[in-house]
Homo-oligomer: A and B are copies of this chain.
Amino acid sequence: MVMGLGSRFASILESRGPLCVGIDPSTDALRTVGLHDTAEGALEFGRAIVAVSASRVGIVKPQVAYFERFGSAGYGALETLIREAREAGLVVIADAKRGDIGSTMEGYATAWLGDGPLQSDALTVSPYQGFAALEPVFSRAETNGATVFVLSSTSNPDADDVQRASLANETLPRLVARYARQRSGNTRTVGVVVGATRDLAARGLTASDLDGLLILAPGFGAQGASLRDISDLFGAASTTVIPSVSRSVVQHGLANCATAIEEHLRELGL
């Protein structure tokens, strides 16, 4: 058995708890903290969050889009940030929401879960081209002990115009959860993304649909939900929820990140 990154996920959850700190160097966020809206600014932003997170939190989640907007320079910054975060003992979820088929999906698997410069511990992916089309990232994750989080029910209300669709009386979020449970089995290879802005019932999901799955849950903090609401929102599935906070961590500047993270840990009872 590979003592790999999936195992790192399990051991991080045990030792540090589930809080995930997002690294979202948007134009607005960089302005808020007084950094330049450049690849260098994005790196400096990420480094500040990593420095504060490494002592208290187990998981960080850089949002790839905010680096991609600077092209190769942004990717250079992201490579540095991912490497430094992992060296600091953090588990890195690359929030890229990639989705494609066949050898193209294999390309994304190589990019994010291979041993190249962007290698991360987990990747978010999008299932529009079919769940089975994601197999190249699942098998890569299995080999490397990494985890793939498949979008199931996202935190934006306008997701309804697609995510309320159903097939044989199952909504897409539920279908994705079922596929993920089948594929993951007892491993931590495949998890799901379920936004925290509404409860499971409002998403056509039940706790048993998610039983045993790692659940990456954005939508906490500035987006609306409080970390105190996890059990109300996720019921019996709460034990495997990885709540993600981003904007609320930096909204009072980088100097106050540590305080914001401590407050979130208190909300989680940690």
Question: Is A159 in contact with B172, judged by CB distance below 8 angstroms?
Answer: no
The reply on A151 being an interface residue by CB < 8 A is yes
Which residues of the other chain, B, contact A129 by a CB distance below 8 angstroms?
97, 126, 151, 154, 156, 158-159, 162-163
Which residues of the other chain, B, contact A24 by a CB distance below 8 angstroms?
103-104
Measured between C-beta atoms, what is the minimum distance from A138 to chain B in Å?
A: 13
Question: Is A68 in contact with B107, judged by CB distance below 8 angstroms?
Answer: yes
Which residues of the other chain, B, contact A132 by a CB distance below 8 angstroms?
158, 161
Which residues of the other chain, B, contact A162 by a CB distance below 8 angstroms?
127-131, 167, 172, 175
Question: Is B156 in contact with A102, judged by CB distance below 8 angstroms?
Answer: yes
Which chain A residues numbered 50 to 106 have a C-beta less than 8 Å away from chain B? 63, 65-66, 68-76, 78-79, 97-106
Question: Is A130 in contact with B161, judged by CB distance below 8 angstroms?
Answer: yes
A128 partner, pick from B70, B76, B106, B163, beta carbons under 8 A: B163
In the bound assembly, the distance between CA atoms of A213 and B97 in angstroms comes to 26
Q: Which of A8-16, A108-116, A249-257 lies at the binding interface?
A: A108-116
Question: Is B68 in contact with A108, judged by CB distance below 8 angstroms?
Answer: yes
In the bound assembly, the distance between CA atoms of A167 and B173 in angstroms comes to 13
Which residues of the other chain, B, contact A159 by a CB distance below 8 angstroms?
101, 128-130, 133
Measured between C-beta atoms, what is the minimum distance from A75 to chain B in Å?
A: 4
The reply on A238 being an interface residue by CB < 8 A is no
Measured between C-beta atoms, what is the minimum distance from A84 to chain B in Å?
A: 15
Measured between C-beta atoms, what is the minimum distance from A209 to chain B in Å?
A: 16
Measured between C-beta atoms, what is the minimum distance from A27 to chain B in Å?
A: 8
Which residues of the other chain, B, contact A68 by a CB distance below 8 angstroms?
107-108, 111, 118
In the bound assembly, the distance between CA atoms of A103 and B73 in angstroms comes to 20
Question: Is B65 in contact with A104, judged by CB distance below 8 angstroms?
Answer: yes
Which chain A residues numbered 20 to 46 have a C-beta less than 8 Å away from chain B? 24, 26-28
Which chain A residues numbered 108 to 158 have a C-beta less than 8 Å away from chain B? 108, 110-111, 114, 116-118, 126-133, 151, 154-156, 158
User: Shortest 9 CB-CB distances between A and B: which pairs?
Assistant: A65-B107, A71-B117, A72-B75, A132-B158, A165-B165, A72-B76, A69-B110, A165-B167, A130-B158
What would 8 more interface pairs be, CB under 8 Å, given A68-B111, A99-B99? A69-B108, A72-B76, A126-B128, A127-B162, A128-B151, A129-B151, A161-B167, A161-B175
